[in-house]
Every structure is written in C-alpha cells, then in structure tokens.
Amino acid sequence: MLFKNYINGEWVDSATGKTFTSFNPADTSDELGEFPASDARDVERAVEAADRAFREWSRVPAPKRGELLFEIGERLKRHKEELAQIMTREMGKVLKEARGDVQEAIDMAYYIGAEGRRLFGHTTPSELPNKHCLSMRRPVGRVGVITPWNFPIAIPAWKIFPAILAGNTVVWKPATDTPRCAYELVKILEASGLPKGVVNLVFGGGNDVGIPLAKHPKIDMISFTGSTETGRAIYQYGAAKLIRVHLEMGGKNPIIVLEDADLDLAIEGILWSAFGTTGQRCTACSRLIVEDGVYEKLLEKLVDRTKKLRLGNGLDPATDVGPVVNRSAQEKIARYVELGVKEGAKLLCGGRIAKDGALAKGFFFEPTIFADVTPEMTIFREEIFGPVLSVCKAKDYDDAIRLANHTSFGLSSSIYTQDINKAHRAMEEIEAGITYINSGTIGAEVHLPFGGVKETGNGGRESGWTAIEEYTEWKTIYVDFSGRLQKAQGID
Ligand code: NAD
C-alpha cells in the first residue's frame, strides 16, 4: 500500500514521486507499506500550512485545545492493541513493550490535556501604585519535530501533544524506519478533530527532509530526539537562526551494584534494562559497575539468566528479545563486539549475529555480556544501541561513582544498595538526568521531567511540567490604571 504525506489536513503525494518501503525487522518479507521519500518542496508546503494555521489555533482557548487531547487519548486507548501490533511488526520490540509505548502516549494525552486548564502564569505587585504586573505563556510558533524509531508513538506524543496544547503548530518528520507508526498516530489525530494545518507530517530521510525542516526560516523551534551526532548538527542550524532547539540524545547508562545489594533484585533490573527493547532504548543499561566482593557471583548468575533469554519475533508471547531495527544496526553491533574482543574485554556470552531457523528472516543479535571492561575501551565509551552489556569491577562506592561518571553522556543511571546513606549520596553524585534507586535504568513516567546532562541534552526536559516550559514563551504585561505617566525605577 502507498501512503502519503499529511499537509494542511489532506493526504497528499510528495513532490518527488519517489518512495521507500518499511519492513518488519523480524521478517523482512513482511512489508508495512511504501512511503513518500519527500524533499525540501514538501517541507515548504508543510511549513506554509503550519504557518497559516498558527494564528487561529493559538487563539483557541487552551482548555478547548486540552479537550482535543482528551479525545486523542480516548482514541489511542481504543486502538491500543492494533497500534502495538503494528509497532512490533515495524520496529521489532516485543508486543508487551509496544503496548507500553502506546500507553505512554495515552498517559501523555491525558496529563497534558489537563494542562489546558492550568498553563499558569504569575502575578506580582508593582513597585508603583495603580499598576498591575502579570506574566502569561504564549506559544513559541511553528515547531519542527524530528523523531527516532525506537519509541515511534511515545516520543512523538511527548513532543506533539504539549506543543499543540500550548497553541503551537507542528511539522513532524518521523524516522524512516517507522513511518507506518507515524501514519497511524496522525490518523488518530485527524479522527479526533485536529484542525487542518495544526499537525503536518512529512515522510523522508534526514538529509532530504530533516535538514530543510531544521533550517527553514519560518520554523521557530526544533524539538529533536535521536543520536548526539545528529543533534549537534541540528543545534547548529538552530543557532544560525537563533531559535529554540530542544535536544534529547544518546546515553551510556550505568547500573551500579554494591556489595550489600539484593543481587536477585539487581539481576532482574539489569536484564530488563540491558536487553529490553533489544538494548535499543536511550535509557538502556549498557555499563554495569559491580563492587569487587560480589563481582564473580553476580556475573555467574547474570550470564546464566542471559543465556536463557529467547530471541524471536516480538509478536510471539514466548519471545524475550526481539530483533534490532535493521541490517546496518546489526552490523554496527557486530563491529563493536569485534572491537571489544580486540581491546581485551572478556566475552562471557552472545557476541554473534543470530540466524538459526526463523531468525535468519530478520536482524537478530545475541544478548551479549563483556566482563573486565575498562574505561579506555571503546565499548565502555560509545553508545552501541543494541543488546551489549559491558561490565566492570569497582573497588568501592567511590570508585563505582567515578566509573559511572566517566562518560560523555548523562541520561539515566541506577544504584542497587541497601545502605540508605550511599543511596542518598548517589542521588547527588551520579551525573545524569535520571537516577533510579534499587531499580533498573528504564521506565520513565510521563508526569516527571525526562532528559539528560552532558552530551545527552542541551538543558531542556521533556514531559512532566517542564514540557510546558519547552513549548511556551513568557510574555510580561504591565497594566497602568493610574491615568498618568508613571515612571519605574523612581524616575521623576
Ligand atoms: P538519528 O539521529 O539517526 O535519527 C533521528 C532522527 O533525525 C530521524 O528522524 C532521522 O531521519 C533524523 N535525521 C538524521 N540526520 C539528520 C540531519 N542531519 N538533520 C535533521 N534530521 C536528521 O537517531 P536514531 O538512530 O533514529 O535513534 C537512535 C538514537 O536516538 C540513539 O542515539 C538514542 O540514544 C537516541 N534516543 C534518545 C532519546 C532521549 O530521550 N534522550 C530517546 C530515544 C532515542
């Protein structure tokens, strides 16, 4: 089936006439459709539509915009199972995780919809008599949204929902690995009564659509989630125009296990964080830092459990770990494993492209654990974005924190300990946007700020109350009802 771009409330052909196909990474004979390989001309049309729609949409009362989000939430709920199945087919995550991805969008729709009746500003006393001072939130304008494939419904919802609630209009470029999920989400927005031009969808690649969108003179803000490399380029396009750029980027998230930890609990959290979504979460645990006294014992149990994980198609309820997203991801992971071995890490399990039986139909990689990893090794430093866990030994708590912070990233982190003092120290001492105590590195909730420090972000926070900060500008109002010219700062 051939799908189209969604511009100004209509499904339209791309100016290029070219297309690309979306495949199931668990079985490449399963196709999810053909999508337009758009270019700058399509971006132009979409930005014009967003620009035309802005004035009217920004004047709709915010509580009414919130009602649209409640309707979107209702429809997402109704179609949750169907959306989850499409997601599993399109990017591979196991079905129960795909349901969780859709659930995040549902939660976001309700949480942000309710903000329509808040959008609080401030009032303060004036330094002058007969004068009122207040401040209110205004939308930023036309927002370019650029998203990755690993949370193909949740991440777009984190961005598009607060953007439109705040009165902005949107041009969205989804990842080329998950266009069908994007189509399904926009169909739901359309059916919920989204006015034309408020959200526009342009399919296509980073160079042909992402760059023209980020550079477009009428785009007032870019909200991006993806790799640090791409985010850095987008930040520069934004800087040239002096616009707001929200960036959520890569991670190299550590779990620390101290000697006093509940090891069985830690193992559950490590397995879920390292191999859930086949290690392709921005919050996935890719570095495990274990205190000396429990290092061997923990590794033995962990390797044993990892070897039992079942690889397969995410639609099969017996599957623990689905495929990686595409062939180039599979090859990239294999290259990192080779490097790990070459640089002297000890391969304890996995390490190979999995192609036995039905696995040969897709892009699978065995859950992999390296021990005796040191901070100089590439697998300790670079984001692999696959089912590869690097384990290193720490002498004590301080050494563990030093190792955890020895990274250019800072998204999520975790520590397992029964020592309340060390747990509280870790809350302050780990350099990351998120720290879990006695739980893995994944599982963010939509009503709390989400984002990272160092090269993971540029200071913004997605979701939570901070989402409203991202998508609004402050406007200050002075009302002088004295009937005469009053000058501030005591000027006579
Ligand atoms: P990516 O950077 O390759 O692509 C992300 C999006 O940017 C895609 O839509 C892509 O087409 C587009 N793009 C690529 N080059 C572009 C350019 N030059 N200009 C404009 N747009 C461009 O990332 P990916 O492989 O899709 O996703 C995986 C990455 O995303 C990982 O690094 C992961 O850590 C990160 N991620 C971060 C978070 C977070 O919240 N911090 C969440 C999920 C994923």
CA distances from 415 to 193, 426, 427, 440 (A): 45, 7, 9, 8
Q: Longest C-alpha distance within the chain, in Å? A: 87
Which residue's alpha carbon is nearest to atom 10 within ligand 1?
A: 206
Q: Strand, coil or helix: what is 485? A: coil
Residue range 342-358, pLDDT digits in tens: 999 999 999 999 999 99
Residue range 369-395, pLDDT digits in tens: 999 999 999 999 999 999 999 999 999
Interval 288-309 mean pLDDT: 98
At residue 19, does pLDDT exceed 90?
yes
For helices 62-78 and 154-165, the axis angle rounded to 10 degrees is 160
CB 225 within 8 A of CB 147: yes
Catalytic site residue from 248, 259, 455, 462: 248
Residue 173 CA: nearest ligand 1 atom is 9
**How many angstroms separate the CA atoms of 44 and 420, rounded?**
56
189 lines ligand 1 (CB under 6 A): no
Work out the percent of the chain whose per-residue pLDDT is above 70.
Answer: 100
What six digits make up the tokens of 400? 């563990």
pLDDT at residue 356 in the model? 96
Cβ atoms within 10 Å, residue 400 = 27
CB 168 within 8 A of CB 21: no
Element (H, E) at 150: none
Tell which residue, 454, 176, 437, 183, has the closest CA to residue 325: 176
Residue range 134-147, pLDDT digits in tens: 999 999 999 999 99
CB 23 within 8 A of CB 89: no
What is the CA(43)–ligand 1 centre distance, in A? 18
383 lines ligand 1 (CB under 6 A): yes
Tell which residue, 195, 139, 197, has the closest CA to residue 167: 139
Is 259 catalytic? The answer is no
Interval 45-58 mean pLDDT: 98
Alpha helices for 140-194 (secondary structure H): 154-165, 179-191
Please give the backbone phi and psi of residue 12, each rounded to the nearest 5 degrees, phi first: -125, 150
**How many angstroms separate the CA atoms of 92 and 277, rounded?**
8
**How many angstroms separate the CA atoms of 304 and 413, rounded?**
24
Mutate to test the pocket of ligand 1, among 225, 413, 450, 454 (most ligand atoms within 8 A of CB): 225
CA distances from 361 to 94, 129, 313, 325, 355 (A): 16, 76, 10, 13, 8
Residue 457 CA: nearest ligand 1 atom is 41
Interval 407-436 mean pLDDT: 98
Q: Strand, coil or helix: what is 289? A: strand
At residue 304, does pLDDT exceed 90?
yes
**How many angstroms separate the CA atoms of 280 and 250, rounded?**
11
pLDDT band at 454 (very low <50, low <70, confident <90, very high): very high
* Residue pointed to by tokens 């690995």: 177
Please give the backbone phi and psi of residue 95, each rounded to the nearest 5 degrees, phi first: -55, -40
Radius of gyration (Cα) for the chain, nearest Å? 24
Interval 106-129 mean pLDDT: 97
pLDDT at residue 492 in the model? 84
* Residue pointed to by tokens 């109002």: 477
Question: Can you list the pairs that 260-263 forms with residues at least 24 positions away whose Cβ atoms lie under 8 Å?
Answer: 260/417, 260/418, 260/419, 261/294, 261/416, 261/417, 261/418, 261/438, 262/416, 262/418, 262/438, 263/294, 263/297, 263/298, 263/301
433 lines ligand 1 (CB under 6 A): no
pLDDT at residue 51 in the model? 98
pLDDT band at 475 (very low <50, low <70, confident <90, very high): very high
Partnered with residue 132 across adjacent β-strands are 125, 479
Partnered with residue 36 across adjacent β-strands are 19
pTM over 0.75? The answer is yes
* Residue pointed to by tokens 């384990």: 391
At residue 204, does pLDDT exceed 90?
yes
Partnered with residue 199 across adjacent β-strands are 170
- pLDDT mean across residues, the chain: 98
Question: Which residues, 6+ apart, have CB-to-CB distance to 193 below 8 Å?
Answer: 68, 71
Q: What is the DSSP string of 393-427?
A: EESSHHHHHHHHH-SS--S--EEE-S-HHHHHHHH
pLDDT band at 418 (very low <50, low <70, confident <90, very high): very high
Catalytic site residue from 71, 97, 104, 282: 282
What is the CA(71)–ligand 1 centre distance, in A? 29
What six digits make up the tokens of 264? 């069985």
Amino acid in position 122: H
Tell which residue, 266, 271, 299, has the closest CA to residue 285: 271
What is the CA(147)–ligand 1 centre distance, in A? 6
Residue range 243-270, pLDDT digits in tens: 999 999 999 999 999 999 999 999 999 9
What is the CA(41)–ligand 1 centre distance, in A? 22
Alpha helices for 20-130 (secondary structure H): 40-59, 62-78, 80-91, 95-115
Which residue's alpha carbon is nearest to atom 15 within ligand 1?
A: 206
What six digits make up the tokens of 209? 């659509």
Residue range 164-184, pLDDT digits in tens: 999 999 999 999 999 999 999
Is 10 catalytic? The answer is no
Work out the percent of the chain whose per-residue pLDDT is above 90.
Answer: 100
286 lines ligand 1 (CB under 6 A): no
Which residue's alpha carbon is nearest to atom 34 within ligand 1?
A: 250
pLDDT at residue 101 in the model? 98
**How many angstroms separate the CA atoms of 484 and 467, rounded?**
41
All structural domains of the chain: 5-249+457-477 (3.40.605.10), 253-437 (3.40.309.10)
For helices 295-307 and 263-275, the axis angle rounded to 10 degrees is 50
Amino acid in position 454: K
